[in-house]
Structure formats: structure tokens, C-alpha cells
Amino acid sequence: MNVVESIERKRDGHALAAEEIRALIAGYTADAIPDYQMSALLMAILLRGLSADELAVWTDAMLHSGDVLDFSHIAAPKVDKHSTGGVGDKVSIPLVPMVAACGVAIPMISGRGLGHTGGTLDKLESIPGFRTALDPAEFTRLLERTGLVLAGQSETLVPADRRIYALRDVTGTVPSIPLIASSIMSKKLAEGLDALVLDVKVGSGAFMRDIVRARELARTMVGIGAAHGTAVTALITDMSQPLGRAVGNANEIAESLEVLRGGGPADLVEITHQLGVAMLLAGGVAPDPDAAQRMLHAAVASGNAFAKFEEVVIAQGGDPAVLHDPSLLPSAPEEAVVTAPRDGIVQRCDALLLGVAAVRLGAGRMTKEEAVDPGVGFIVCVKVGDVVSAGDPLIRIRWRHPGRLAEARSLVDHAIVLGDTAAFPPPLVHERVV
């Protein structure tokens, strides 16, 4: 095949043939196509899009780049959740032990940080020893044993997504509906699920900035699920300001532990519960939303959700001591505090600026080879609508390198806008797409 011709054809707005798409995905997965050519193709797709037929083949080629798991021997319903990506979006970490404690099996394949958004794998790996690289045999054993497994794409599990995802992270090719939809759905369809719940983020800190595009992304993924016989429910949720207070890797684990102990910021708890209800209903283990809510509350109040997370951390090699004493999690040595320059009401707390600033601090990557720093990040002390006085802390920054702090500060200083009129945050859940 001639990769240059494929790039040129997509650049010029033409459709790629099915066999061509399969050869491109197989070639890149086998290292026969270099990063620079795949980057150019991805940029052409971002600019020109994929037709429904092209997207179906692209997703199928990614899905079959590795093993497709079959858990039909496990009696419990298999349900997973995936987010399209946000800032401070650590929902999966408290959510899945809560839902697993209610009797749903969750074979979760997640991703790393993508663009300015954080990734579940990077967060989990801030727990010392936690292993997310599992082969299908170990993945299956852990799911059978604990009912919950948290792993990454690998050489055997959606390897095409592993490579394309890492490339998109550092080539400005993330915010494309077909590339996001194929990335998410190839991973999720490889998990052998009965049902899937999607959290489609909308707002400045999301890849979909407005509701029209968020709806299109949600419908695209629901459609791919339907074509593969997997029931998909999508909630379109707000990402105009960070979710919860913590942004970073280790500090997001600490905040997730608060939720598992029955505390945590109200917005994070609310979204976690709404997605949990959707998962329990999708799995058929709760008859209605009220019953699902009661099950989730009981899983937290009884300590079963926390115990489930501890079981998974131990099973995947993590140090359980950090769960009982989060001060043992990695933490950068220095703190800087951004304070309110005047009295006022928070009008904006910009998720995009804070997400980009977190990457600059070292919580995400600017090249494929870069390692993330688990200990850097922010505690965002305010939400839209809060009343503050001059000198009140707005953002606490955990940092390690002065140059990186300076880069991050130039963004953080503009993230929070104060005014004199009452301000109201948008609803947390905008719409549901089924």
C-alpha cells in the first residue's frame, strides 16, 4: 500500500476504502508505518472527518488489532463506564468499586492522560506498585476473582488504540468525533460487555465545547454500540469547571478515597452516583433509580466499596497502605497559593486553562516519551458562584520545578474570574442519550 496516497486522499476530502483502512491500522500497529505518517493521517481525519462507513471499519480494525475478551462464563452482568475526558475527572476511581460492590462485574480498559485531560491509568499508577499492564489471562483471572479489573491497552488488548492514543496525545489530534468514538468504542467492545455507560463531557475543559458536538459524539458512540449488540447509555455532563477540587494524579486518588469513605466534593459525588445508577440499571441489578441509589449508598456506608478498591489495589500489586494514609501518596515538595486579588463572586473557573496548566506542571505529557509526575497538581478551592474575600486561597499548586511552575502560573492566574454579580454553575447533567 502507499501510505502517502492515503494521507493525500483523506487530506483532499475523499473516503478511504475498507481494505485501505484495515491495512493502515494493521501497519501502524505492527510498526510498519512510522509515527510521522500516522500523525499526518490523523490530522487529515481530524480536519476532514470519517463517513459512517469509514468509522465502522476504522473502529472494527482497532477492536480486532488485539484479543476480544469473552466473559460469558461469568454470571454477573458485565458493565463498564468511560468518560470522553475532563479536568479533575477522577469519577471512574470511586465509581467502579462502588458498582462492583453491588454485584456488577467491571472489566475496565482505560487510557492515560490525553491532551489537557487526565487519565485513569496515570492516576492509578500514582499508587506505588499498582500494575495496569495485564495480559488477557491475568485480566480474566483478576475479573473472576474480584469482579473488577483496571487495566490499560497493551500489546494484546487494543494495541492499535494504545499506539494511536499515545500519538494523538502529543500531536493535537484529540478533539475529533470519529477518533474519540473509535478509540473509546474499540476499547470497550474488546471488553466483552453486556452494557456500557458513557460520560460525554461538554464545556471548556472537554473535547466537545458545545452541546451540539457533545450530542453528536454521544449518538455516534451509541450507534457503534448498537451495531455491535452492546447497549450504550450516554450522560452528557458539565466540564466547564474542574470536577471536585483535586487536579493531578496522586491528589485525585486522595479525593477518590474521600468519596469511597462517604465524603468528597458534592459535584463529584453527584456525578459518581448518577453514573452508578445508570450502570446498575444497565446491568439489571437494580429495578429502578431509587433502588440503585440506595444500593450505592449502602455500598459506601458499609465499607464494601472501599474494601473492593483495596482488594483490587492489592490484586494489582499496589501498596494498600496509601489507601489508609493518603499522605503516603507521592506529593511534590513545594506549594504555591493563588489568592483572590479582591472581594467578589467566582464567575468562571476555567477547566481548560487549569488542565493545560496541570500538563505544564508535569501531570501530563508533552512528548510521547515523557513520564508524568504523580505528585504535582492543584487543589481548586472555589467553584462558580462562591463568594470570596481578598486574600482567600483560590488555588493551591503542588510543584517541583520552578520553570514549570512559572509556565503553569501564567495560565492559572487567568483561570478564575471574579465579578460582582451572582453566578450560577451549569447543571451537572445536561442530557441523556440512549
Q: Measure the CA–CA gap between 23 and 341, rounded to whole angstroms.
A: 57
Quick note: the x/- pattern for ligand URA over 129-168, rule CB under 6 A, is: ------------------------------------x---
Find all residues with CB under 8 Å of 56, minimum gap 6, and list them. 224, 227
107 in contact with ligand URA (CB under 6 A): no
Contact 178, 50 (CB under 8 A): yes
Q: Measure the CA–CA gap between 157 and 162, rounded to whole angstroms.
A: 8
**Shortest reach from residue 232's CB to ligand URA, in Å:** 14
User: With CB under 6 A as the contact rule, which of the stretches 48-56, 182-190, 225-233, 401-409 interacts with ligand URA?
Assistant: 182-190
Residue number, nearest CB to ligand URA: 183
Q: Measure the CA–CA gap between 342 and 246, rounded to whole angstroms.
A: 24
Find all residues with CB under 8 Å of 207, minimum gap 6, and list them. 84, 85, 115, 117, 174, 175, 180, 201
Q: Measure the CA–CA gap between 386 and 241, rounded to whole angstroms.
A: 13
| Comparison of 90 and 398: residue with beta carbon closer to ligand URA | 90
Three cell numbers written together for 313: 489495589
Is 110 an active-site residue?
A: no
230 in contact with ligand URA (CB under 6 A): no
Is 201 an active-site residue?
A: no
Is 240 an active-site residue?
A: no
Distance of CA 389 to CAs 15, 241, 340, Å? 57, 20, 7
Q: Measure the CA–CA gap between 83 and 208, rounded to whole angstroms.
A: 12
Q: Where are the alpha helices (DSSP H) in 172-210?
A: 177-189
250 in contact with ligand URA (CB under 6 A): no
| Comparison of 40 and 184: residue with beta carbon closer to ligand URA | 184
Three cell numbers written together for 205: 475543559
User: With CB under 6 A as the contact rule, which of the stretches 73-81, 133-141, 181-189, 368-376 interacts with ligand URA?
Assistant: 181-189
Residue from 77, 85, 192, 374 in contact with ligand URA (CB under 6 A): 85
At 42, give phi and psi (nearest 5°).
Answer: -60, -40
Residue from 77, 111, 113, 276 in contact with ligand URA (CB under 6 A): 111
Residue entry with cell 510521547: 368
| Comparison of 7 and 179: residue with beta carbon closer to ligand URA | 179
202 in contact with ligand URA (CB under 6 A): no
Count of residues of this chain found to bind ligand URA when the rule CB under 6 A is applied: 10
Q: Where are the alpha helices (DSSP H) in 147-303?
A: 159-169, 177-189, 211-227, 250-260, 266-282, 289-301
Three cell numbers written together for 33: 508505518
Catalytic pick from 82, 245, 398, 404?
Answer: 82
| Comparison of 140 and 173: residue with beta carbon closer to ligand URA | 173
240 in contact with ligand URA (CB under 6 A): no
180 in contact with ligand URA (CB under 6 A): yes
Residue from 61, 184, 196, 356 in contact with ligand URA (CB under 6 A): 184
Q: Hey, which residues are catalytic here?
A: 82, 161, 168, 183, 187
| Contacts to ligand URA by CB under 6 A | 84-85, 111, 114, 165, 179-180, 183-184, 187
